[in-house]
Amino acid sequence: MEKVELLAPAGDPEKLKIAIRYGADAVYLSDRFFGLRAKAGNFRRSQMRDAVRYAHSQGVKVYVAVNLFAYNRDFRRISDYLRVLEQEIRPDALIVADPGVVDLAREVAPSLELHLSTQANTLNTRACSFWSKQGVSRIILARELTFQDIKDIASSGVVDVEIFVHGSICIAYSGRCFISNYMTSYRDANRGLCTNSCRWSYKVHEKEYQVEEEQRPGEFYPVEEDGRGTHLFNSKDLCLLPRLDEILSSPVRSLKLEGRTKSLSYLSTVVSVYRKAIDAWYQDPESLQQLLPALQLELNQLGSRGYTEGLFKGHERDQYNLFGDQKSQSFDFAGLLRKKESVGGQTLSLVSIKKKLVSGDKVQIFDPAHQHRLEEVGGIYSLDGFPLDKAVPGDEVYLEGLSSVPDYTILRLPC
């Protein structure tokens, strides 16, 4: 049996390394113009070239998102970009959504494999057949499908099938949201500038059936409700970990994690949890069932809006998170241990600090093996080797006492 692919987000070069270190089989990334995540760090073209080389050296595939909905004025730049991708950067596939971009990619970059974005909202086998004829080899199915729908499409064998299994869910159909654009006049979610308006806090004015966003007092937005509810408000976060046994028994080829704008700490946790779950199932499906409580607890410790299985079981109202039950994480992201260096005759760890640390603090080591051991921070030193009383967010310092911790490991402070 061919093992399912675990596909992780790589919002910038550092996140790419974390995704690979913590177990991704493939990563997806983009530049800041064409990939629908303009607020992520993203990749300059030289960085993208280096990222592809590094990932391939680790046996990991790279998919480049070019999934904006394009206007006529975009096509010249897109054409030049596609040629650079094919001739210089050489990713394993492009993620596309706009039919015009699909057609252009076949013309100017014919050697690149095409994966169809979830934003194309593919819901049925005939649509898959249509896109296959246009040169698409994989389809990332719309989130609006039940598992039975997913199985039926994947079993047809028309194209490879990829589905999202974890992360934020847009409240708009297949993520094609217009609220951000409506509220800001220029922040178009369908061109990478989403402000996550659906996740802000609102006050409901019941008598007038209007809502008021807390940072925009006096601006009222009308609320309309149909038989399926009021769709302005945000969804809970998707989590299909409890359903992995069913998914892995199906012909689905790739499991996708959302989160190009999420933190390194979030990314490392989610990738490692799903990596461990997938590996356990292939070793023995029963062993996955035994692991699930511990793995779910790991995810529950992350900040989230509560978890939902979305439409996996059908159209159920628990998808809609109307009561703001945001859950805080049970640890703080303390820092990223980058590498060891010899400083003044001793081996110290170079750490990018994300949370204030002082000598004597006990940090939790979160590595791909899930070994949550505590290590005490010894001395703290500047990059020039001078002792420091503390390290604060944004600092790059040397820490003493972490010599046994591997490079590119996440450090946590238990709350």
Domains identified in the chain and CATH numbers: 5-169+235-319 (3.20.20.70), 174-222 (no CATH), 331-414 (2.40.30.10)
pLDDT band at 308 (very low <50, low <70, confident <90, very high): confident
Strands 160-167, 136-140: parallel, antiparallel or unpaired by DSSP?
parallel
Q: Is the separation of the CB atoms in 373 and 352 below 8 Å?
A: no
Burial 333-364 (b: 16+ CB within 10 A, else e): bbbbbbebeebeeeebbbbbbbbebebebebb
Positive or negative, the CA dihedral 266, 268, 274, 277 is negative
Question: In the predicted model, what is the mean pLDDT of residues 172-190?
Answer: 61
**Bridge partner residues of 387 (DSSP):** 381
Q: What is the pLDDT of residues 390-407, one digit of tens each?
A: 999 999 999 999 988 999
Give the model's pLDDT for residue 323.
46
- Of 29, 63, 92, 25, the residue nearest 255 (C-alpha): 25
- With pLDDT > 90 as the criterion, what percentage of the chain qualifies? 65
Least confident of 54-63, 94-103, 183-192, 385-394: 183-192
Report the Cα–Cα distance between both ends of the chain, in Å, rounded.
Answer: 42
- Of 305, 289, 329, 290, the residue nearest 410 (C-alpha): 329
Q: What is the pLDDT of residues 332-380, one digit of tens each?
A: 999 999 999 998 888 999 999 999 999 999 999 998 876 788 999 999 9
Q: Which residue has the tokens 């490991």?
A: 409
Question: In the predicted model, what is the mean pLDDT of residues 191-217?
Answer: 68
Is 138's pLDDT higher than 80? yes
Task: Show the tokens assigned to 275.
Answer: 């990596």
Residue ranges of alpha helices (H) inside 134-203 are 147-156, 179-184
